[in-house]
A and B are shown apart, each in its own frame.
Chain A
Amino acid sequence: MKRFLIVMAAVLFTAPAFAIDTSKAFDDPELQARYDKLISEVRCLKCQNQSIKDSNVFLASDLRREIRRLISEGKTDAEIVDFLVTRYGEFALYRPRASGKTLVLWIAPFLLVLLGGFAMFRVVRHRMSLSIDDETVKEG
């Protein structure tokens, strides 16, 4: 039991060693908030489906370093996003910007809801036109 506790404690207390960027990047809370938001929205290209905030491969840490540099150089969020898209394409962003290329991504959900709503409307109207006691009548 004692040994078990020691092992558990060791496991618990080594966790911070795997944490990513434990120190704050900026003293200014406003800049830190922008930094946190940006890194959680940029995809790690090497480890797709992780943001660069959650990944510790070196490409992610390189990208975090570049974003820190750009923020401290006074670049706006839009300029930083441009910087990334120029180099890696729209796929680097978890929330693709609304543009000609990504238009279909943005309108598809609304189109699908409209389509589904229309289908439901048709079915409901059809059902309503049936008389109450026709449960044995075959559909079609």
Chain B
Amino acid sequence: MARYIALLVAAVILLGFLWFGLLRGDPRALPSPYIGKPAPLFVLPTLKDQSKTVGSADMAGKFTLVNVWATWCVQCRAEHQFLMDLAAEGSIPIYGINWRDTRPEALRWLQQLGDPYVASGFDADGVVGIDWGVYGAPESFLVSADGVVLFKQLGPLSWDIWERDFVPLMADGGASQ
């Protein structure tokens, strides 16, 4: 009898692992090591004007959303309307990192679909992408007024995700905890 109880307990534990594994969501999603730490500093030429730059200095002093996008990224197209709506709502400035893209295609994208970004940095060779630990667009980082990464969203944003994961983190008005 004791043997059967032991087996049952073992089976329940193993099933627990299975259950946990199944409900864990995307097993390929990696937590960002930057959460709660200062966002990597960056300066990039802007997409629209090579002679201008955009970077960490422009983002200081307010909550910002850093969105990594590219025209070859199918999910970015799905996300774009949300970014347009978020920009129209005006609660947070959105900075783009145009990752591993070409200028003409990226500019055409913004012309056709609209431009939700305060500015997009043009990261042609992916150096800033690597600094931010980006491995698949779209990725979006919520950065606090003092430059700390509060949250990272892997994959396209939506209002549901925005209100669930981002809005509560911005409740205290600008400084990180």
Contact = CB atoms under 8 A, between A and B. Distances in A.
Nearest to B72: A58
A87 B28 contact: no
Interface stretch (A4-12, A59-67, A105-113, A119-127): A59-67
Interface stretch (B82-90, B127-135, B163-171): B127-135
If over half of A's interface residues share one DSSP class (helix, strand or loop), that class is named, otherwise mixed; here it is: helix
Given A58-B126, A59-B126, A140-B3, A86 B33 contact: yes
B32 interface: yes
A88 B33 contact: yes
Interface of A: 45-46, 48, 58-59, 62-63, 65-66, 85-89, 91, 140
Given A46-B135, A46-B136, A62-B129, 17 more contacts: A45-B30, A48-B28, A58-B100, A62-B100, A62-B125, A62-B130, A63-B130, A65-B125, A66-B127, A86-B33, A87-B131, A87-B133, A88-B33, A88-B133, A88-B135, A89-B31, A89-B32
Contacts of B32: 89
Nearest to B27: A48
Nearest to A48: B28
Nearest to A46: B135
A88 B30 contact: yes
10 nearest A-B pairs in the assembled complex, by CB-CB distance: A45-B135, A87-B133, A89-B33, A62-B126, A88-B133, A46-B135, A91-B30, A48-B28, A46-B136, A59-B135
Contacts, number: 40
A86 B28 CA distance: 18
A32 to B, nearest CB: 22
A66 B30 contact: no
Contacts of A85: 33
The SS class assigned to the B binding surface is loop
Nearest to A66: B130
A89 B133 contact: yes
Contacts of A65: 125
B69 to A, nearest CB: 15
A69 to B, nearest CB: 9
Interface hub of B100, B127, B133, B136 (most chain A Cβ within 10 A): B133
Contacts of A91: 30
A116 to B, nearest CB: 15
Q: Which of A63, A85, A86 has the largest count of B CB atoms less than 10 A from its CB?
A: A86
Contacts of A45: 30, 135-136
Contacts of B127: 62, 66
Q: Name which of A63, A66, A87, A140 has the most chain B CB atoms within 10 A of its CB.
A: A87
Nearest to B40: A87
